[in-house]
Amino acid sequence: MAVEDKHISYRIYLVAVFIFLMAIAIVVKLTNIQWVEGDYYRKLAKQRTVRNFVIPANKGNIYSADGSLLATSIPNYEIRFDAKTPKKETFEKYVKPLSDSLATVLDKPSSYFQKELRKARENKNRYYLIARNLSYTEYVKIKGFPLFNLGAFKGGIIVEQETVRKHPIGKIAERTIGYDRIDPATGVEVGKGIEWAFKSYLNGKDGKILKQKIAKGQWKPIRDVNEVDPIDGYDVISTIDVFIQDIAHHALLKQLEDYEADHGCVVVMETETGHVKAISNLGRAEDGSYYETTNYAIAESHEPGSTFKLVDLMAILEDKVADTSTVYDSHNGVVKYYGRSVRDSHNGGYGKVSLARGFELSSNTVMVQAVYEGYKSNPSKFVNHINSYGLNKTLGLHFKGEGRPYIPQPGDKHWSGVSLPWMAFGYGVSVTPMQTLALYNSVANNGVMVKPQFVSEIKEWNKTIKKFDVEVINPKVCSSETLKKVKAVLLNVVKKGTGSKLYSKDFSMAGKTGTAQMNYGGKEGKSALYYASSFVGYFPADHPKYSCIVVVHKPNTSRNNYYGADVAGPVFKRIAQKIFTDAPSTNKIKKLDTRIPKQDASYDKYTAEANKKLNQIPNLKGMPGMDAIALLENLGLKVKVNGMGKVKNQSIQAGTSISKNTTIVLELS
């Protein structure tokens, strides 16, 4: 018995020791968790239940040169309900009045809201959706409804805001205005145009708001104030002129439709500054309509055809290897180099003509002979002229996706005997329409080549943050003597050359036609061959104010009329004449045509009037309340609203100078 008791005692001691050791281990572990790993676990717990969420800053606006809105951020609101927050007696007191009020705004019966709100409370839903995509006016009204007017901690209202980018002038110049967004499929930031190129100015700095995780993986703001308030982005003032943009867009659109063309582009540039006043890029959809699909003027590098002959004329005259009076035989319209033929578009050629006349008639045989005879022993001398014009490299525009030019260089592996003659009539080389325009603009600008610009300045309210001055690429592309002769020949192209159909005794224009065969080396053979018709020049010819290029790809050849003078030339003429004959005497912008659907039709009513002066209160009477609020907030004003509907009265009269953070009261009908 004693032995058995002894064994029992050993077992008890063993268990006691084991328990004691476990207790020590637990104490050690607890001490370790509390003091050694405590910060880590507390941080982990907090991360899983409380988290900072980003509040996107309001993007700055993009304005046209005349002060019209091209892109702006409009606030959208989402309202949710924490059904667990209100006390029982408070909820019961206000559930019906709240439901009645919601029914007046959200177009559903009061009984529906009563049922849904009670169901949300029964299920302890802390994130019940009331409505989304609300305007500021609707948000303010709902926020003042019974129960919700008690605030987040008593009434359970949860308000979340997001901004939506709007383009008041619709899809016109859409690719140039561009976008900057996150691709939902990849999560990668993508963008184009001004929005992307100047995002560091436009986007501002995001804020932060602290939220707590609640049921069903949903997150609710912990308090009404933000941890870090967002800082709005700066405004970007573009060089685009809405009036000229509208003219250029519809002139191009009409011609594309008439010729059932595949795509085309037009650019109008201010001669002295390089400011792009209008740019339109339209591509044909399957249904035959045209949209801004690709920025062809900047991105599409291709063989230019006869518009490249300006390079020939400038180099030849500058080096004095020939003069405008030098006579060449067109050899019945065909000359051969290394077994390959160069042909004139006119059967039989032009007989014996001067260099100037050959340029005016766009004779391939004359221009090729002049270049080949002048530079065959030293082709680098000719190519160096091209390089000096900057045609062998990109313009270095702010936009991404600028097309890369190609100019063959002597000694390269692709250089051959036909490289020089082929370059002379615009083949075997590749440039973008914008590069071609920059060269012609330099002639109009007395030899000074300037870089095309799309933005003139960055502003914060009325304060200039950054100004983009004129950027000179080449201070003198050729001598004054060469320039004088070139200008005379470009004028004669319109007066009595290939562009004679465009001539008007009442209005002077100068430029060059171009018709290039495209895809002639494609695997599909002749079936894939098509034409690109172009016209580039400046106006008025005597004192150039603007330069312009028009390129139309793949016009329908069934009309047997695909030449630059017939397809692209009329667009150039229409733009030039309309700018100077229809130009408004004041800054008032004409109402835009609506042939292409607008993204937000409500903006039409105030695009011209409300946004033309950035430093004055606009006339808001008759404007929808939500639009007026969005506009005023984007101008830096605080807004109070009485009523619903359209603006009936405003507390600050139109034309009054604006002071930031001033409060304006709108009375809505």
Same domain, 658 and 574: no
- Whether 483 is covered by a domain: the verdict is yes
Does residue 140 share a domain with residue 65?
yes
Ranges 165-174, 197-206, 467-476: which has the least confidence: 165-174
- Predicted confidence at residue 525, as pLDDT, reads 52
Average pLDDT across the chain, whole number: 86
Lookup: tokens for 57 = 């800053």
**What's the CA angle centered on 446, arms 440 and 448, to 5 degrees?**
75
Between CA 136 and CA 151 the distance in angstroms is 17
Tens-place pLDDT, residues 623-632: 766 667 767 7
**Domain end marker among 189, 213, 238:** 238
CATH code for the domain in which residue 180 is found: 3.90.1310.10
pLDDT digits (tens, 9 = 90+) for 396-431: 999 889 999 999 999 999 899 999 999 999 999 999
Q: Is residue 469 part of a domain?
A: yes
- CATH code for position 655: 3.30.10.20
Would 419 be classed as within a structural domain? yes
In a domain, 28, yes or no: no
Assigned token pair, 308: 């490249």
649 and 504 share one domain: no
Output 253 or 23, whichever has higher pLDDT.
253
On whether residue 663 sits in a domain, the answer given is: yes
Torsion of CA 354, 359, 364, 367, to 10 degrees: 60
Phi-psi group of 114: left, alpha or beta (phi > 0 → left; psi -120 to 50 → alpha; rest → beta): alpha
7-42 per-residue burial string, b: 16 or more CB within 10 A, e: under 16: eeeeeeeeeeeeeeeeeeeeeeeeeeeeeeeeeeee
Residue 606 in this model has a pLDDT that exceeds 60: no
Residues 210 and 259 both lie in one domain:
no
Q: Residue 235 pLDDT more than 70?
A: yes
Q: What is the DSSP string of 247-283?
A: HHHHHHHHHHHHHT-SEEEEEEEETTT-BEEEEEEEE
**Per-residue pLDDT tens digits for 33-69:** 666 666 665 565 555 577 777 777 778 899 999 888 8
The pLDDT of residue 357 is 97
Over residues 101-113, the pLDDT tens digits come to 999 999 899 999 9
Percentage of the chain surpassing pLDDT 70?
87
Judge whether 410 and 379 are in contact, CB under 8 Å: yes
What does residue 341 show for φ and ψ, rounded to 5 degrees?
-95, 140
pLDDT on residue 456? 96
Q: Do 458 and 516 fall into the same domain?
A: yes
Taking CA atoms, 447 is separated from 73, 382, 389, 478, 484, in Å, by 42, 18, 10, 6, 10
Whole-number Å distance between alpha carbons of 335 and 333: 7
**Whether residue 231 sits in one domain with residue 82:** yes
> Is 342 domain-assigned?
yes
Residues 573 and 614 in one domain: no
> 290 and 439: one domain?
yes
Residue 44 belongs to some domain of the structure:
no
Domain count, the chain: 3
The pLDDT of residue 277 is above 60 = yes
| 267 and 172, same domain (yes or no) | no
- Tell whether 269 and 376 lie within a shared domain: yes
- The mean pLDDT value for 636-644 works out to 71
Structural domain including 477 reads 242-533+550-581
Contact between 220 and 212 under an 8 Å Cβ cutoff? The reply is: yes
Q: Are residues 230 and 254 in the same domain?
A: no
Which residue has 């997150």 as its token pair? Answer: 219
Of 199, 220, 238, the one marking the end of a domain is 238
Determine the Cα angle at 278 with ends 277 and 283, to 5°.
Answer: 165
The answer on 408 and 266 residing in a single domain is: yes
200 in a domain, yes or no? Answer: yes
The string of pLDDT tens digits covering residues 131-189 is 998 888 888 899 999 999 998 889 999 998 877 888 887 777 888 998 888 777 787 88
| 167 three-state secondary structure | coil
Q: Which of 218-227, 555-564, 608-617 has the lowest mean pLDDT?
A: 608-617
Residue where one domain finishes, among candidates 177, 203, 238 = 238
